[in-house]
Amino acid sequence: MSNPSSSVPRWQFWIDRGGTFTDVVGKRPDGQLVTHKLLSENPEQYRDAAVAGIRHLLGLAPDAPVTPDRVECVKMGTTVATNALLERKGEPTLLITTRGFKDALRIAYQNRPRLFDRHIVLPELLYSRVVEAQERMGAHGEVIEPLDEEHLKERLWAAYDAGLRSAAIVFMHGYRYTAHEEAAARIARAAGFTQVSASHATSPMMKFVSRGDTTVVDAYLSPILRRYVEQVATEMPGVPLFFMQSSGGLTDAHRFQGKDAILSGPAGGIVGMARTAALAGHGRVIGFDMGGTSTDVSHYAGEFEREFETQVAGVRMRAPMMSIHTVAAGGGSVLGFDGARFRVGPESAGANPGPASYRRGGPLAVTDANVMVGKIQPAHFPRVFGHAANEPLDADAVREKFAALAVQTGRPPEEVAQGFIQIAVQQMANAIKKISVARGYDVTRYTLQCFGGAGGQHACLVADALGMERVFVHPLAGVLSAYGMGLADQNVIREQAVERPLAPEALPDIAATLHALAAAAQAELVQQQAGAGTMAVHQRVHVRYEGSDSALVVPWPDAPAPLEESSPALGDALN
């Protein structure tokens, strides 16, 4: 099918598929924006919420294909990978590693975050089987033991016969000396493995454990993402499809990798927050994104903050991600009373069954507390509930359940509901303190920018708890994460370990490495059909004091001026 002329105005769709709701922002051919919100899971009504939202705004029948003659592109963030990681429902994965290191990722760093716990519950491993390859590269590139390819083939055939189709390859020093990993990847693909993630391509950085965990996550989640991408693309043949990465940039759907998908949805919210705050004249903002499952808080003071090594669901990740702190207090967070105290979360009612007011027999949740005190009016809430997905929230069910709690506590139902709201507000305020006050920022000088479906119900209470005087609510605050998908740029981030003392004689080699990385990133963007004239290259180096573990991220100068003049931060480090 030939693509229509780019001069013909067509629809664009920007979508955030969250844990509870899916938000859709459509840009009409005349430039106007329209929005739609629907439950992420409603199996009686549709197979996929994102595609159903597009069909609704286009006025198509439930099974009609979405075609490129009407749709220019779809930009999307999704929690598919996040949910698979949290629920451990990824692809069964084989770990291929150097002989003698099969338990290295389980042993890891032996961290004890809760020192006095007598019963330590370790996170469930993502890989289900290990193959030890007879090989070993030295730290300086010498071959201590050549790779025994025949031995590895036999082990891979046995794993393939056992039903495994996804493999993660992590060899000692493989990030720097890649020959053995490349050979193992070739053998794995020849054996029939459909997903092969090698650490030198997935996370080419030092530290065996975090490099290995990142590679395993990529192998574990990428097949899940691929199936979801193919499912969506099948219903939209020929329509360009882009996904938001954890780093805050869009990528072509077929290049979307598991390691870059963990914060796909929240990253769109950060982009939307930053762009809209700048347009409104707010230079420093605290992002407060309260959705149905959780609340994401973030700090922005002129540039995006990213983390390069994080821990998600008990797994160490080394991949660029937006710096976001999440707390389990969303509109769907379950309310509980154990006979002595109120609890909010961490369990969530999700979209199915959802809170008690969703007409699916769910438990009381934060949304129900707001219905009880009158902050949510069912008459003005989307009518997407019930078997036909056309009924309002069920306020009667909420009152009935709070009346039962009132009997147990000896307090009026409204007071009980308000108590739960206060607990949720305090949890969210504490989360904001961790990213602001705990890092030396005076939060009272910032604007609280609230967004997400439940943000407006709690923004003023959170601001009061923190002593903040300004709250910014964008007209599209309820769907700002989806709006952010449309405001985001396509980006490619490339990394490489150099590991040299920062001295004048090392600068040419560092510059050459950065130039090669920039060229590779630009080539990939060209393959994704990004316009070459609109590309911008940002170069950063991570410097650390010798013997330390924490790196300082400083910009690399573009101009050939002396380092002290073009990059004072790097010049200070050099001196």
Helix or strand or coil: residue 117?
Answer: coil
The amino acid sitting at 381 is F
Q: Where in the chain is the domain with CATH 3.30.420.40?
A: 11-85+227-260, 281-494
Query: How far is the C-alpha of 422 from the C-alpha of 488, rounded, in Å?
Result: 35
* CA 541 distance to own-chain centroid: 24
pLDDT reported for residue 406: 86
Query: How far is the C-alpha of 220 from the C-alpha of 80, rounded, in Å?
Result: 12
Give yes or no for a contact between 27 and 14, defined as CB atoms under 8 angstroms apart.
yes
Our CA angle for 530, 533, 536, nearest 5°, is: 80
- Nearest Cα neighbor of 277 from 456, 432, 470 is 470
Report which DSSP code applies to 212.
Answer: H
As a three-state string, the secondary structure of 38-107 is EECCCCCCCCCHHHHHHHHHHCCCCCCCCCCCCEEEEEEEECHHHHHHHCCCCCCEEEEEECCCCCHHHH
The answer for residues whose C-beta is within 8 angstroms of residue 187's C-beta and 6 or more apart is 149, 152, 153, 156
Q: What are phi and psi of 209, to 5 degrees?
A: -70, -50
Our CA angle for 24, 30, 33, nearest 5°, is: 25
End-to-end, the C-alpha distance of the chain in Å comes to 60
What is the full per-residue pLDDT of the chain (575 aa) written as tens digits?
334 445 678 899 999 987 778 899 999 998 899 999 888 888 888 888 889 999 989 888 888 888 888 898 899 998 888 878 877 888 999 999 999 999 999 888 887 777 888 887 777 889 999 999 999 999 888 999 999 999 999 999 999 999 999 999 999 999 989 999 999 999 999 999 999 999 999 988 888 998 999 999 999 999 998 998 888 888 888 888 999 998 888 888 888 888 888 888 888 889 999 999 988 888 899 988 887 777 888 898 888 888 888 877 777 888 888 888 877 778 888 888 887 788 887 777 776 788 888 888 888 889 889 888 888 888 888 787 877 778 888 888 888 888 888 888 888 888 888 988 998 899 889 888 988 888 888 888 999 999 887 888 888 999 999 899 899 999 888 888 899 998 888 888 888 888 788 888 888 888 888 998 888 888 888 887 755 557 888 888 888 888 877 788 888 886 555 555 545 555 555 55
* DSSP string for residues in 153-202: HHHHHHHHHTT--EEEEE-TTTTT--HHHHHHHHHHHHHT-SEEEEHHHH
Q: Say which CATH topology domain 281-494 has.
A: Nucleotidyltransferase; domain 5 (3.30.420)
Give yes or no for a contact between 206 and 499, defined as CB atoms under 8 angstroms apart.
yes
State the burial class of residue 111 (Cβ atoms within 10 Å of its Cβ: 0-12, 13-18, 19+): exposed
Q: Is the pTM of this model over 0.85?
A: no
Helix or strand or coil: residue 208?
Answer: helix
Rounded-to-10 torsion of CA 76, 455, 305, 439: -160
pLDDT reported for residue 5: 43
The class level of CATH for 11-85+227-260 reads alpha beta
Are β-strands 241-244 and 71-78 bridged in parallel, bridged antiparallel, or unpaired?
parallel
Give yes or no for a contact between 71 and 13, defined as CB atoms under 8 angstroms apart.
yes
The answer for residues whose C-beta is within 8 angstroms of residue 321's C-beta and 6 or more apart is 246, 247, 262, 263, 267, 306, 307, 308, 310
Give yes or no for a contact between 20 and 12, defined as CB atoms under 8 angstroms apart.
no
Taking CA atoms, 572 is separated from 399, 508, 543, 564, in Å, by 63, 18, 11, 7
Tell me the β-bridge partners of 285.
Answer: 300, 447
pLDDT reported for residue 499: 79
